[in-house]
Structure formats: structure tokens, C-alpha cells
A and B are shown apart, each in its own frame.
Chain A
Amino acid sequence: MRSAKTLLIAAAALLASVAMPARADVVVYCSADEKMCRGLITAFTRETGIKADMTRQSSGETYARIRAEKDNPRADVWWGGTGDPHLQAAEEGLLAEYKSPLLPKLREWAVRQAELAKFQTVGVYMGALGYGYNSEELARKRLAAPRCWADLLKPEYKGEVQMADPNSSGTAYTMLATLVQLWGEEQAFDYLKKLHRNINDYTKSGAAPAQAAGKGETLVGVAFQHDVVMVALTGRRPLVTVSPCEGTGYEVGSMSLIKGGRNAADARKFYDWALGASAQRIMPEFGSFQVPSNSDVPVPKEAPDLSSIKLINYDFAKYGSSAERRRLLARWTNEVKGAPR
């Protein structure tokens, strides 16, 4: 038994060595995908010489973490991820106010996001909602390519459409809010009830429908268009992006400073750098094909053509507020999700 004892003692000694956290100049919580986050941080350190630490989590996870850490914040900046959790965090007083000198350089929707949150957050990229279909499956079923939201109601799509559950996914909530703004609440719910018959699954994660469509597990997956492009390009799948003809909503990927962060000065440097042209130009290299918020940076060529997308005037103030969200989600759960197929 001597070996077991030695093992125990060695483990206890080693345990002492992991008891201390390391310090960096600035700590970033990143809610985009791993490759994008890693590339962004590396570029920042290379260009400014400031050592940055990055932890990647989905936007919902990051929000939950910042909220749990609010008495002793561990991070300084929160970069990326859909705007709603950023707005929610601003509403709860978890974020710090900052007016970057680069604000005048930003596109209009990015500034609107900042004004909405009393300058506690700002837009860094924008991506339109849409859906993707698997061209191989479409050919196998001998169907015409869908172009509009209304096409998804056709009886031949029964069991072929996948979307996320808006209770768990910000993507699906954006769809719900988009349709309500597009057609009014009654007609939107009428549409969703009809769509319910064609839905094969309400997935938990918003990224799942595009993935499933890429693999051919479903014909159509509702997602942000840049996510569909990402699956098609990096996963090399036969996936076609559709921007619905009736018009569609969008997300504003956001960035915020965390209130009470320990490295406020360096955090502002990161914030200003991330809004600058050099940072926003590198995004397509890492598989992110959204519209950058800095107006000096052109839209990446792989991104869905903006002129072909009919964007609605999305009201983030109303549909981002927790009261309205709760009401719409409750109605969706009661009237749509539980209904028989």
C-alpha cells in the first residue's frame, strides 16, 4: 500500500501548486466560436503588446457566469454573442458605461445598440436571420428550392423543418420576435402554429438546426445566415443559405465592459481596439461572416449579400425587454409547442 500513500501525498503537494490563479493584463469572456475568439486575442496581443486571457462560452453561459460573479468580477470585457443577454446584463447593472472615441465610426445599428443600453454595450457585428436547406436532400425529395418563410408551410415539408426552442435559444427567440414584428402578433402565431406541423424537432441549442441541415438530418434548419455559411464552408456541407423574401430580423453581436473589472484601463484599450478597423477586418479569416460594425471595413465577400436581404426595423428595446420576452415565450409554449402535430 506504500504506492497508494505516496500517490496521495504527491497529489496533496501538487494540489497546493494549483491553488493560485494567474494574472493577465486583461481578461476577456468571448461568446463567439473558439477559433474566432483565439484569433482575436492573439491579434490583440500582437498589435498592442498587452497580455490578454480569453475564456470562451456561449452568450447565455457568459451572462449566467457574469451574474454569478457580480460580487467579485473575474473578467473585464465580454466580446461577442447575440445582443439580448448583453442588454439583459445592462438592465441588471452588471456592465460599466463607456463611450468609445470610435463610436462615430460605427454603422448606425451598432450605435443604436449602444444608445439603447445607455452606452453599457455596443455592436461589433450584425447578422441576419434566415434558414439553410440541404441541397442533396432537396434533390432527393425533388422539391423546388424554398425562398420565403411561407414556403416552409407547404405540406411537402412535413417533418422536414427544424428550429430551436425559443425558451432556450436566442436564435429562435429572434425568429419569434421577427415574425411578430413582420406580421403582427396574431398572424405570427397563426404562422407558427401551422409551421408546428412541419417541425420535426425543437432543439435546445440555436446552433443545432444548421448543423443538422448540414448533415442532412433535416431538410431545413432555421438559423442566422452567417452560421449557415459557416457550417457550409468549414464543415464542407451541401448547405444553401436562404434570406426569406418577406423580410427578416437580425442580431447585433455586442461587446460590453464588465462593472468592477480589475483591469479597467487595459479593458478600454481592448474595447477601442476591437471596434477599430484592424480588428474587424480579420473576422472572416476565422470563419465569421457577419457584417462588421466599423464602417471603414467592407462586408466579407462570403457573407450573404446584404442588398438581397430585406431587413425589418427590429425593435430591440421592446423585444429585448424581459417582460415582453417572458410574455411571448409563455404564449408560444402554451399555444404552439404543446399543440398536437
Chain B
Amino acid sequence: MMPAAARGWSAAFALAVVGLPWYGHEDPFSAFLAGEALPLVFQAGARPWLLPLLLLPAVVQIAVRRDRPRLMVGAAAVALAWLCLQGFAINHRGWTWEWLGALFGGKPTQAAMGWGALLYALAATQLAAVGLARQGWCRGDAFVLGSILLILGAILLFVFWPVMTVLISAVRDNSGNFAPAEFWDKFTDRSIWGLECLSGGGNCGAAWNTLALAVGVGLLSTLLGLAFALVALRTGLRLKGPIRLLSLLPIITPPFVIGLALIIMFGRTGFVTIFLYETFGIPRTRWLYGWPGVALAQLLAFTPIAFLVLVGVLQSVAPSLEEAAGTLRAGRWRTFRTVTWPLIRPGVANAFLIGFIESMADFGNPLMLGGSFNVLSTDIFFAVVGAAQDQGRAAVLGVVLLGFTMAAFTAQRLWVGRARYTTVTGKGDSGVPPPLPLGLRAACYATVLPWLVLTIVVYAIVLSGGFVENIGRDHTPTWKHFLIAFGIDHGVGGWFLSGSAWNSFITTMWLSALSMPLTAALGLITAWLLARQEFRGRGAFEFLTMMSFAIPGTVIGVSYILAFNTPPVELTGTGMILVLAFMFRNMPVGIRAGIASLSQIDKSLDEASLTLGARSWRTFRLVILPILRPAIIAAMVYSFVRAVTSVSAVIFLTTAEYQLATVYIVGRAEMSEYGVALAYSAVLIAVMVGALMLIRLLVGEQRIGRRAANTSETAPVGLAAS
């Protein structure tokens, strides 16, 4: 007897064929009137290549009735394969490849796939999963198999395929012919691998610059983030609130704004520089432009991300272990070194990896402060859009960047290895975290406090810059810039939004809110699959999930146009393509946060739930999800703010209808209208802080039962299920 899921999906399979419009149309209403928006059944007469797709749901029905899992898997696989094949072979202009036209003749056309085709693909995937589970794959768990197939399909479609359409041009010359020799020429170019800076004259290649910068920023941001996390969780200092708030600020800031604030402070005419010059006679220099400025801005931007990752990990470290070490007469330092540190090591590795990759992919800061310091991300951007217009070079640089990211990813896995670091178990933990050793505490304070001051000053500039006449020159307060962007006027038809920023503001907010839960869900389910399930090809699966993160946004943007502008999947010009770009670009953060948290949670919890008869979906929902609350919050918060503040990935995807805030801000800054740009940034920051508070309120804090230090009341022991 087939499980209920099989019957449900096979019904959906049939519905996709008879109930939903098969093709997508830009104007569904007039398409319906013209008789074009019809389900597959009515299309197949005119388009004979659709007939096999029509027959397969019937085959699946038979397989379900007669309980033939093998037949079901086969039919579903053929359905998927044929769906892809016919979609790629025939587009809106006829045969995609000329030899097909020569073979079959005629000029068949079809539009892009619509809702019917989407449900068809989804149902076929799930039916294959149910069938495979019946044959004993993944211990017969259809939910795990279904998730794997679904996510794999989504990643192949929305990451692998678009990225490949761009990378393929690495082995093509400028007119599109196959030319592998050019790849080698471009790959070994001096501007990528040159080492002139070591011998004194000239600049080093972009690859070395990027690598050095990313390693430095990764290490420093992890250290700073760790110091912040320790201060916030393990000291009596009343800084937790401010640190938590400030830790959110940099990620909710459009990247170029930090660069601008740094120029206003430390530029050649910055107020700190002028002050040092006039008071101490320190000569004014342009030290900010180049790697020091980029590194500083990146540290300001990425330290909070490391903090968010590490604070989650540190919270999950069971204090009773540290107490035990104390009882065994280990000193505080020894306890930290031998107990706490090994437990947070996977978190540290993850924080480093995120800092490293973020630095590599960062585009705004090098553009603003880089000067002659070349990094790969800006080089790629200008290879595409610059005067040389060399897409092949962009692809080659993209390959180098991808290589670096994957190397970091491998190194991280080797370091953390397969060791297990679970401390949240089914057993309750009633320990109290010990205070930090004195030397470590002093070091933490010494790094945290100056950094806090710097961050506060940077944000004071960002937040006030929009409300003075001309920041850095004339500090008369004014609402002028704010009203240009967010004015509301009273006219004949009542109140209306006259400010020029409203349009982009509203679009940005709701597209980002839309992508937020989807990104978090996608990331966390993937994390759970990677951390908890054994299946063949897991390494390759993990590699694919990291791919979109490693490619700079500009390349993703161009690749999305190349891949999704024509049938079979036509999405350009819609809001959907922006949401998808946000989802697949920000998903890796959800994955990393999820894996870091999951690696600390003992598998016995899952096993207990499974033993009690719960299926994997129920276990995931009732056991894993509640423990993952901090990771969920982090993933949601992060995907929301990343969507609001991303520039490079969407700059090619925005249209007149879907304008985005960051694109507007960059446009204003290019025009030297810093007042308007900063006023808009301030509004965005205020709104995002509000939104984050709301999310926290809705989803709630992590409630792992731990005793708080210095309190005598008994904290709830064990895990608080919700």
C-alpha cells in the first residue's frame, strides 16, 4: 500500500496537467481571453512534444494503485527529464539548436513555463522521493529524500545553471567562439597574479590582494566578534544591550555609507585628520584609500556577523562542563583553553569562513575606498561594465574567486573535521558559566571598548548626516534632504507621497520581507540535511549550496539575466527574480548558522523522538526547530537585512516597477547628494531596527534552560519546548 503522500502528490500531478495554465504569460488576463492560458491537456494537440508529459501522470496513477514504487520512480524521472529537455530544446523563437531544426523541420514555438509546469515538476520530484523511500533509500524517509531532491533541484536551477552560463564564457573569445587558449592567457595575466608590490614598485595582482585582505579581515573579524560575544555573555559589564543593538547596525547599513562616514572622519579633509593636523602637526595623508580603508570598513561591517554566529554558539556551551573543569581544580584560563575553546571551535571556524567569504564578495567598500588597490570583485564588475567590456576576463576572475572560496571551505572542514561538539543533550544542565580569566577579560575590554566608540561615531555620522545642510562642511540642522526623499504633500486628491524615495522604499520593504522567511526556511532545512542526514554526494551538495555566496553579486546579476530572460524559465522584469536572487544569495548564511547550532545538539534528541514513533518531519518540527530558535532568528534577521542592503546582485535586475532602495542611494551618492543618501540610509536603519525588534518579539528568544549567573532562583531545567 502506498503512503498517503503518494496519493496526494499523484493528485497534484494530475492537477498540474488539467487544472493549471501550463505556460506563463506576461498578461495572464488577455492570454486567457485569447485562449492561450490553458492547461497542458488543451495545449498538447497543437504541440505534440507535450504528449509524453500528458501520459506520465496516468502511469504514476497506475503505479500508486498497484503499489509499484519502481515504476513510479521511473515515470517521475522520465517526466522530469522530458520536461527539461523539451523546455530547453524549443523556446519562443523555435528550435534552440539548429541541428534539431534540420532533423525534425518545422518551426515550433512555446512560451516560458507557468504554474502548471511548476507544480508538475514539484509533484514529479516528490513522487520520485516517495518511490525511492519505499525502496528503502534514506532509511525509507520520504521527507528527507523529498527535501534533498527539492533543494537540489532548486539549487541546480537557480545557482548552478545561471553561474555556469557566465563561467562558460571563460573559455570563449569575445565573439562567442570556443577558445581555450584564451583562458590560459587571461588566467595567467599579470594583473591577477603579479607580485610587484613585494619587490617595492607597483601593485600586486588582484588575486593576492583579495586573498590577503580576506584572510586578514576573516581573522580579525572573528577575534573581534569573539571578544564581543565573551563580553556580552560572560562578564558582568552592563554592555549587553548596547552591544546587541550595535551589532545589528552595520549589517543594516548600505555598504557605501560606512565608507562615506570613514572618509568624513579619516579622509584627507576628514575632521579627525584635520584635528590631528592642526593640533599635533601630523601631516594629512591619503592612507584611507587602499587596503587599510577597505579592511577597516569591512571589519566594521563583518564583525557583527561574526558576533551573531559566535554568540549563538557560546550560548549553547553547557556551563556544567566548565563547572566540572573548575571542580577538578583547573584554573579559569585552563578551563577556557581546554573546555570552552574546543567547544566553540566549530563556531569560530564558521565565523572565519563567513568573514573570509564576505570580504571576498564585498563590492561596495573596495569601490568606495579601494583606490588603486585591486580586488577581484571590483575587477569582475568593471570587466563586465567597464570600457574594456571583456566578459571572458570576468569569467576567468570569477573562476579564481570561486577557487579561493572553495579552498577556504575545504580548509575549514579539515580543521573542524568530523569531531563532535554536542553539549545540548536531552539531559538538563544546571551549571553556571564561570567568569572569564582575568587576562582574557582585560584583552576583551581593551578591544571591545575602542571599537564600540568607533562604531558609535561612524553611526552618529551616518544617522545625523541626512539632517544637516552639508555633512563635514556646514552643520546647520535641516529637514530639506529628508523631505526630498520622504515628503508627503496635500493636493487635489488628498494626501499623496511626493518624496522621490517612496516608490523604491516600499518595493524594497515588501520584497525583502517576502524573501525573509523563505530564505531562512531554505537555509535551515539545508543545514539540517547537511548536519544530520547521511546521504551519498553530501560533499558535492554542500559545495553547490556555497556557490552563490562565492560569486560576486554582479556576476549573479548578469547570470540571472542570461539564464532567465528567455523560455523555458522567464523571470526577468518580475519581482520574483529579485526575491529568488535574495533567497539563493543569502541562503548560505542560514546554512552556516544552522550547521553551527546543530553541531552542538546531541543526535540523541532526534533519536529519542524517532524511537517514540515520530517521523523525521515531526522530529524536525517539534524537536529541532525549537532548539534552533537563535539560528532561526539570526537567519531571518540576516536574510531580511541582506535583502534590504544588497546592491551588486540586483543592480541588473531592477526595473522601473521594481526599484530598490540601495540603487536609489547609490545613484544619489554618485550625484554628490550625500544629504539625501544619508537621510534615506537613516530611515532604512530606523525601519530595520523596528522590524528586527518585531521579529524577535514574534519568534522569541532561545530558551535553553540554563541558570543565569548571580541569580538564586531556579531556572527551568531541560529544554523548554514550545
Interface residues, chain A, CB within 8 Å of chain B? 1, 3-4, 7-8, 10-12, 14-15, 18-24, 27, 33-35, 38, 53-58, 60-61, 63-65, 68-69, 71-72, 74, 84-85, 88, 137, 159, 165-170, 172-173, 200-205, 207, 211, 214-218, 230-231, 234-237, 287, 322, 325-326, 329, 333, 337-341
Contacts and interface: CB of A to CB of B under 8 A. Distances in A.
A186 B387 CA distance: 22
A21 B626 contact: no
B572 A11 contact: no
A160 to B, nearest CB: 10
Chain B interface extent, by class:
35 or more
Given A57-B652, A215-B269, 18 more contacts: A1-B626, A20-B574, A34-B671, A55-B654, A55-B656, A56-B663, A60-B384, A61-B651, A65-B558, A68-B565, A69-B561, A85-B389, A165-B382, A167-B382, A167-B388, A200-B371, A204-B381, A217-B269
B435 interface: no
B671 A201 contact: no
Given A168-B387, A234-B672, A69 B565 contact: yes
B607 interface: no
Contacts of A217: 263, 267-269, 286, 289
B109 interface: no
A68 B651 contact: no
A27 B657 CA distance: 11
Given A55-B654, A201-B289, A63 B385 contact: yes
22 contacts: A3-B698, A4-B632, A11-B514, A11-B518, A18-B574, A19-B24, A19-B571, A34-B667, A56-B667, A65-B652, A69-B565, A71-B566, A72-B566, A74-B565, A88-B389, A159-B286, A168-B387, A215-B263, A235-B674, A237-B672, A326-B388, A338-B196
A64 B289 contact: no
B656 A54 contact: yes
Contacts of A19: 24, 571, 574-576
B619 interface: no
B670 A33 contact: yes
B162 to A, nearest CB: 11
Nearest to A219: B268
B470 A236 contact: yes
Given A61-B651, A64-B384, A74 B389 contact: no
Contacts of A71: 93, 565-566
Contacts of B196: 338
A161 to B, nearest CB: 12
B286 A200 contact: yes
Contact of B28 (A8, A20, A173, A341): A20
Contacts of A69: 561, 565, 572
B573 interface: yes
Nearest to B96: A71
A55 B650 CA distance: 12
B672 A204 contact: no
Contacts of B200: 340
A109 to B, nearest CB: 20
Contacts of A200: 286, 289, 371
Interface in B78-112: 92-93
Given A21-B655, A24-B656, A65-B652, A33 B667 contact: yes
A172 B372 CA distance: 14
B203 interface: yes
Contacts of B201: 339-341
Nearest to B202: A338
A58 B385 contact: yes
A38 B500 contact: yes
A201 B378 CA distance: 15
Most A CB within 10 A of own CB, among B511, B565, B654, B674: B565
A64 B268 CA distance: 35
A325 B518 contact: no
A32 to B, nearest CB: 10
A11 B652 CA distance: 24
Given A20-B26, A72-B92, A329-B388, A203 B371 contact: yes
B233 interface: no
A209 B143 CA distance: 57
Contacts of A4: 517, 521, 625, 632, 699
Interface in B473-514: 473, 500, 510-511, 513-514
A325 B671 contact: no
B511 A18 contact: yes
Q: Is the interface of A mostly helix, strand, loop or mixed?
A: mixed
Given A18-B511, A68-B565, A217-B268, A11 B672 contact: no
Contacts of B558: 64-65, 68
Nearest to B386: A168
B244 interface: no
B421 interface: no
Given A237-B672, A340-B200, A8 B517 contact: yes
Nearest to B626: A1
A168 B667 contact: no
B710 interface: no
Contacts of B566: 71-72
Contact of B202 (A207, A231, A339): A339
A27 B263 CA distance: 38
Interface string B550-586: 0000000010011001100011111110110000000
Contact of A234 (B203, B391, B561, B673): B673
A18 B385 contact: no
Given A21-B26, A34-B668, A60 B385 contact: yes
A4 B674 CA distance: 39
Interface in B366-414: 367, 370-372, 378, 381-382, 384-389, 391
Nearest to B574: A21
B261 interface: no
A11 B515 CA distance: 7
A56 to B, nearest CB: 6
B702 interface: no
Given A19-B576, A234-B673, A340-B202, A204 B370 contact: yes
A216 B518 CA distance: 46
B499 to A, nearest CB: 12
A236 B71 CA distance: 74
B621 interface: yes
Nearest to B367: A204
B494 to A, nearest CB: 21
B714 interface: no
A33 B387 contact: no
B191 interface: yes
B598 interface: no
A202 B372 contact: yes
A35 B654 CA distance: 17
B186 to A, nearest CB: 12
Given A15-B514, A235-B673, A60 B570 contact: no
Contact of B651 (A27, A53, A57): A57
Contacts of A325: 387-388
B424 interface: no
Nearest to B368: A208
Nearest to B286: A200
Contacts of A53: 655-657
A20 B191 CA distance: 43
B387 A18 contact: no
Given A11-B514, A24-B656, A74-B565, A60 B26 contact: no
